[in-house]
Amino acid sequence: MTDTQLPAVVVEPNADADAAVIWLHGLGASGHDFEQAVPFLNLPASDRVRFVFPHAPVRPVTINNGWPMPAWYDILSIDIERKIDEVSLLESVAQVNALIQQQIDQGIKPERIILAGFSQGGAVAYHAALCYPQRLGGLIVLSTYIATAERIKREKMAVNDRLPIWLAHGVMDDVVPHSLGEQAVLELEKMGYEPEWHNYPIAHEVSPEELNELGHWITQILEHKESIA
């Protein structure tokens, strides 16, 4: 599975891209899920960001009676511990790494590549970004949790120890409880990261306000990276 490039929806800027956001959708969705979110970020044209929205592989999901669906990994139980199949998650991490390399091969510097993920996609983004061997631009995690905290502690890369991290979670989320987002913040702080944490009065979703604030953050990150390049 990891030998093939993930298919993806790609949204190009008006001018040649010099930065990229790779954004992973949630369970059962597709790369089209966040395609329409791009305008709500209100990014200035000067940012020249390419958005890559990959489609997760279709695989059986245990908590959904084994029915095949787009999923970054198998979820074995839906209790607060969120027992998952780590092997399939790591397969997805390898595929995300291949997408990062694809952007590098197309001329995007790794420090101008931001990983983003919603829900299940966020759990993959956590692992991929914190364990990536080159300095990335940032990590965006929305309505999600850290599924592989112990492994990340062992395998995280020092080059990304100061990676900018933007977290957001809906306080009324009944799919991934808000407490799991709070727990992720604590885990990150224990590992030495300094995440930026945001709460929104929403359920398991994103809001225009959230996307607008996220867009400001993306612009600040990219402008900073450009100034030190």
Q: DSSP readout, 56-83?
A: PPEEE-GGGTT-EEE-SS-B---STT--
Radius of gyration of the chain (CA): 16
- Cβ-proximal residues to 178 (8 Å cutoff; 6+ apart), any chain: 169, 170, 171, 172, 199
Helix, strand or coil for residue 134? coil
**CA angle (140, 146, 147) in 5-degree steps:** 130
User: CA-CA distance, 124 to 48, in Å (whole number)?
Assistant: 25
Identity (one letter) of the amino acid at 56? A
Helix axes 86-105, 120-130, angle to 10 degrees: 60
> CA torsion, points 2, 126, 182, 140, in degrees to nearest 10?
-110
* Active-site annotation, residues: 119, 173, 204
User: CA-CA distance, 25 to 215, in Å (whole number)?
Assistant: 18
* DSSP β-ladder status, 49-54 and 165-170: unpaired
